[in-house]
Amino acid sequence: MSMSSVVKLSGIRKSYRRGPEEVHALDGVTLDLKKGEVVALVGPSGSGKTTLLNILAGWEDPDSGRVEYPSAPGIHPGELPWRDIAILPQSLGLIDEMNVRENIELAARLPEGPGVKAVREKIDGLLGELGLANFQDRPPAEISIGEQQRTALARALLLSPRLLLADEPSGHQDSAWAEGVFKTIRAAAKQGTACLVATHNEELLQFVDRIIGIRDGHLVDVEHPGLRPPEELAAQVVERSQAASVAETRGKTTPFRPDDLRSKFGPQS
Ligand SMILES: Nc1ncnc2c1ncn2[C@@H]1O[C@H](COP(=O)(O)OP(=O)(O)OP(=O)(O)O)[C@@H](O)[C@H]1O
Ligand SMILES: [Mg+2]
């Protein structure tokens, strides 16, 4: 596997004003992500994970320090197309007016994108793999939050981006789907995508290549909980997720509608 650098950060600092107080969200972060690796970014709430992802994405600018994309020297990360940087934000950011399939197609539909026809097989593959095929015609408001999150992952991976920035991609998943999400990310890495995944999910950490800890805006070393070769881990995850999908098809899946929720838990009229 090539070990070429996809992005390098050096000496990144970022603070926010909150009233009289200055919050040092990032306090000198240096980081190098390589092609095809899956890196977990692990730290408590408020430690700076989302801020770091936002700076990598060019959604925010650091106060000081450098962000370098060797494949696109001199270009601001916020200007890079989805093929270079794809993002699964913590807030998901799906478009309400588009159904699941159209949301996933987004990067292909953009003027600089390859068009929907060119990626039809990839879309169908992602819909199947992430358990979304049955919901593809529904708007985000009519599927579960876990399904919305898997839709946002499929959208991010559609064009096999050089870099995936995923903020808590298993945050809304049960343990079987957390592994399904990991499997999809692992498959993208195998195709060359560098994946930076902010996560609280310790079960998933055994499946990543590298763990970076973050505390109060500083990167810290984290003990890896038993790293095994990625291929071996991937095989294990595939096996387990197949077992899970068999169990799922045995159980009855009831379509979810907002009306159902309201009639069960809403005010009684
Ligand atoms: N726009 C903002 N204005 C002021 N403070 C901010 C802003 N964004 C983030 N912060 C602060 O910066 C620090 C880092 O926040 P960040 O969102 O990066 O944390 P996080 O590690 O992603 O947390 P979580 O696990 O809860 O998502 C926190 O103290 C947060 O309150
Ligand atoms: Mg966050």
Task: Express each pLDDT in 204-255 by its tens digit.
Answer: 787 899 999 999 999 987 765 554 444 554 455 455 545 544 444 443 333 3
Ligand nearest to the CA of 199: 1
Which atom belonging to ligand 1 lies closest to the Cα atom of 17?
Answer: 4
Q: Give the pLDDT confidence score for residue 257 in this predicted structure.
A: 34
Minimum CA distance residue for ligand 1 atom 24: 45
pLDDT tens, position by position, 51-73: 999 999 999 999 999 999 999 99
Ligand nearest to the CA of 215: 1
Single pTM value for the model? 0.83
Minimum CA distance residue for ligand 1 atom 4: 16
Q: CB within 5 A of ion ligand 2: which residues?
A: 49-50
Distance (Å, rounded) from C-alpha 142 to C-alpha 149? 13
Which of 183, 190, 158 has the alpha carbon at shortest distance from 242? 183
Binding site membership of 201 for ligand 1 (Cβ less than 6 Å)? no
Contact (Cβ atoms closer than 8 angstroms) between residue 158 and residue 123: yes
Q: Give the pLDDT confidence score for residue 239 in this predicted structure.
A: 56
- Hey, what's the torsion of the CAs at 140, 151, 194, 28, to 10 degrees? 30
Binding site membership of 27 for ligand 1 (Cβ less than 6 Å)? no
Binding site membership of 14 for ligand 1 (Cβ less than 6 Å)? no
How would you class 222 by CB atoms within 10 Å of its CB: exposed for 0-12, middle for 13-18, buried for 19 or more?
middle
5-91+162-252: CATH superfamily: P-loop containing nucleotide triphosphate hydrolases (3.40.50.300)
Binding site membership of 48 for ligand 1 (Cβ less than 6 Å)? yes
Average of per-residue pLDDT across 15-44: 94
Residue 213: which H helix or E strand, with range? strand 210-215
Binding site membership of 252 for ligand 1 (Cβ less than 6 Å)? no
The Cβ of residue 224 has, within 10 Å, a number of other Cβ atoms equal to 13
pLDDT tens, position by position, 78-111: 889 889 999 999 899 999 999 999 999 999 998 8
DSSP annotation string for 173-189: --HHHHHHHHHHHHHHH
For 234-266, letters b (16+ CB in 10 Å) and e give beebeeebeebbeeeeeeeeeeeeeeeeeeeee
Task: Calculate helix-pair angle for 230-250, 175-190, nearest 10 degrees.
Answer: 140
DSSP 8-state class, residue 79: G
Distance (Å, rounded) from C-alpha 108 to C-alpha 215? 37
How many Å lie between the centroid of ligand 2 and the Cα of residue 43?
Answer: 10
How many Å lie between the centroid of ligand 2 and the Cα of residue 90?
Answer: 6
More confident residue, 10 or 266: 10
Average per-residue pLDDT for the chain: 84
How would you class 111 by CB atoms within 10 Å of its CB: exposed for 0-12, middle for 13-18, buried for 19 or more?
exposed
Which of 11, 161, 154, 186 has the alpha carbon at shortest distance from 72? 161
Minimum CA distance residue for ligand 1 atom 29: 46
Contact (Cβ atoms closer than 8 angstroms) between residue 142 and residue 94: no
How many Å lie between the centroid of ligand 1 and the Cα of residue 93?
Answer: 18
pLDDT tens, position by position, 131-150: 999 999 999 999 999 999 99
How many Å lie between the centroid of ligand 1 and the Cα of residue 103?
Answer: 27
Binding site membership of 43 for ligand 1 (Cβ less than 6 Å)? yes
Q: Give the pLDDT confidence score for residue 117 in this predicted structure.
A: 94
Q: Give the pLDDT confidence score for residue 171 in this predicted structure.
A: 93
Average of per-residue pLDDT across 165-182: 94
Contact (Cβ atoms closer than 8 angstroms) between residue 184 and residue 157: yes
